[in-house]
Amino acid sequence: MEEKILWAAIEDYAGLWEVLWEFGKEESAAGYNQIQTTVIGLFEKGFIELYEYNDLNNKKSKIKKDIINIINEKKNWNPPEKLGITFRISATSNGKKYYKKLIKNKAS
């Protein structure tokens, strides 16, 4: 699970809803709590950062407070219905290193 989440965060500033999409419709519905817990764990380990992204002007700002509350809020995982504020994750340099380690261990 960490591998898929980190890949999404490495590829781009992945919206929380896009993280769910990485797991497919059925798996993400059944495992939402596990996915959410894993995202929080990756954040706490310093492997990902959370950003507030304004779709209207394409500006993003790193969130430094209330991160767990934002991640825990189910509405923040829904795809946006219109342009506005969304929440996205991005991998840190340590997150990228950890991802490479996961891939290497998987190949062994």
- Whole-number average pLDDT of the chain: 91
pLDDT tens-place string over residues 71-84: 999 999 999 888 88
What pLDDT, on the 0 to 100 scale, is given for residue 83? 87
Q: How far apart are CA 44 and CA 82, in angstroms?
A: 30
What's the average model confidence in pLDDT over 11-40?
A: 85
Q: What pLDDT is stored for residue 25 in this prediction?
A: 63
Spans of all domains in the chain: 2-107
Buried/exposed 4-27: b ≥16 CB within 10 Å, e otherwise: ebbebbbeebbbbbbbbebbeeee
pLDDT (tens digit per residue) in 35-71 = 999 999 999 999 999 999 998 999 999 999 999 999 9
Enter the pTM of the model: 0.90
Cβ neighbours of residue 80 under 8 Å, at least 6 residues apart? 15, 17, 55, 86
Between the alpha carbon of residue 50 and those of residues 19, 27, 56, 88, the distances in Å are 13, 23, 18, 6
Tokens of 2: 């960490």
